[in-house]
Amino acid sequence: MLPIAALVSASRQGGAHGFWQAITEPEAIAALKLTIGASIVVALLNAVLGTITAWVLVRDDFWGKSAVNAIIDLPFALPTIVAGLTLLALYGTRSPVGIDVAYTRAAVVLALLFVTLPFVVRTVQPVLEELDTEMEAAAASLGASEFTIFRKIVLPNILPGILSGVALALAKAVGEFGSLVIITGNLPFKTEVSSVYIFGRLESGDSAGAAAIAVVLLVISFALLLSIGAIRHYATRYDRA
């Protein structure tokens, strides 16, 4: 807690004016815009692909499923810097599959997709496992199409799971650093995200400027944590009565 207090106090060294100036610096704004934009794109992709993956892991059955289930957690266990390096090896300048996204904004999205992959899968999976298939069977017997069943029965049940997974993924994506340093090249105004910008400010001796942006990230993290709590509260509203 103390470090956080020191951070907030350092960000106010230059007064409200200094704080405002630090966070409205063009490079800082560009970095913040990219961070939030890329994080939202990644969160949305996660919502779709993560849900599909969770569905496949619960309802589908195929050879090697338990192995697939195990590697989902890989991004949690793999050091982020290694993640960045491995992604660059496959999708960088010497890409063996001919896809080169090194030092572009696509690389930012790719790295964030990697590090946030488990969140939605792991929040949706347990809910799907507990979901009774009887309701779906009943709906099907009443003539509902597969899409209608998903929209009216499955989705409402797993929505809280998807949302809290998305919020976790967003929080992780907004603060991500290690996997981005290598693959994005950290080009200001192009591929530089906020955490890299903070690091750069600090290295050039501007700790007040770094602290100001850090406080912005801190507020975002806190807001996301609180919203996860709120989602959980809402999702269990019938259990608590």
Partner 1 sequence: MRRYSLRGVALVYLASILVGPLLIVFWRTFQHGVGPAWDALSAPDTIHAFKLTLIITAIAVPLNTAFGILCALTVVRRDFPGKGVLNAFVDLPLALSPVVVGLALFLLYGRAGWFGPWMTRHGIQFLFALPAMVAATIFVSLPFVAREVVPTLREIGDEQEQAARTLGAGSWQTFWRITLPSIRAAVMYGVILTTARCLGEYGAVAVVSGRIQGVTETATLRVQERYESFDLAGAYAISMVLALVAVLVLLTTNLLKPKEVA
Positions 91 through 130 that interact with partner 1 (CB under 8 A): 91, 96, 110, 113-114, 117
Candidates 17-25, 78-86, 130-138, 152-160; binding stretch for partner 1 (CB under 8 A): 78-86
Q: Which of 80, 123, 184, 186 binds partner 1 (CB under 8 A)?
A: 80
Answer yes or no whether residue 77 interacts with partner 1 by CB under 8 A.
Answer: yes
Q: Which of 19, 28, 31, 53 binds partner 1 (CB under 8 A)?
A: 53
Q: Which of 44, 71, 137, 138 binds partner 1 (CB under 8 A)?
A: 71
Candidates 26-34, 100-108, 132-140, 214-222; binding stretch for partner 1 (CB under 8 A): 214-222
Q: Which of 145, 226, 232, 236 binds partner 1 (CB under 8 A)?
A: 226
Q: Which of 21, 104, 157, 221 binds partner 1 (CB under 8 A)?
A: 221
Answer yes or no whether residue 60 interacts with partner 1 by CB under 8 A.
Answer: yes
CB of 188 to partner 1, least distance (A): 16
Answer yes or no whether residue 44 interacts with partner 1 by CB under 8 A.
Answer: no
Per-residue DSSP letters for the chain?
Answer: -HHHHHHHHHHTTTHHHHHHHHHHSHHHHHHHHHHHHHHHHHHHHHHHHHHHHHHHHHH---TTHHHHHHHTTHHHHS-HHHHHHHHHHHHSTT-TTS---TTSHHHHHHHHHHHHHHHHHHHHHHHHHHS-HHHHHHHHHTT--HHHHIIIIIHHHHHHHHHHHHHHHHHHHHH--HHHHHHHTT-TTTT--HHHHHHHHHHTT-HHHHHHHHHHHHHHHHHHHHHHHHHHHHHTHHHH-
CB of 73 to partner 1, least distance (A): 6
Answer yes or no whether residue 153 interacts with partner 1 by CB under 8 A.
Answer: no
Candidates 25-33, 86-94, 125-133, 153-161; binding stretch for partner 1 (CB under 8 A): 86-94
Q: What is the total count of residues that contact partner 1 (CB under 8 A)? A: 72
Answer yes or no whether residue 184 interacts with partner 1 by CB under 8 A.
Answer: no
CB of 35 to partner 1, least distance (A): 10
Other CB atoms closer than 10 Å to residue 217's CB: what's the count?
17
Candidates 17-25, 26-34, 151-159, 191-199; binding stretch for partner 1 (CB under 8 A): 191-199
- The dihedral of CA 110, 79, 92, 94: what is its sign? negative
Measured CA to CA, the distance from residue 103 to residue 187 in angstroms comes to: 8
**How far is residue 164 from each of residues 28, 74, 109, 123, measured CA to CA in Å?**
28, 20, 20, 7
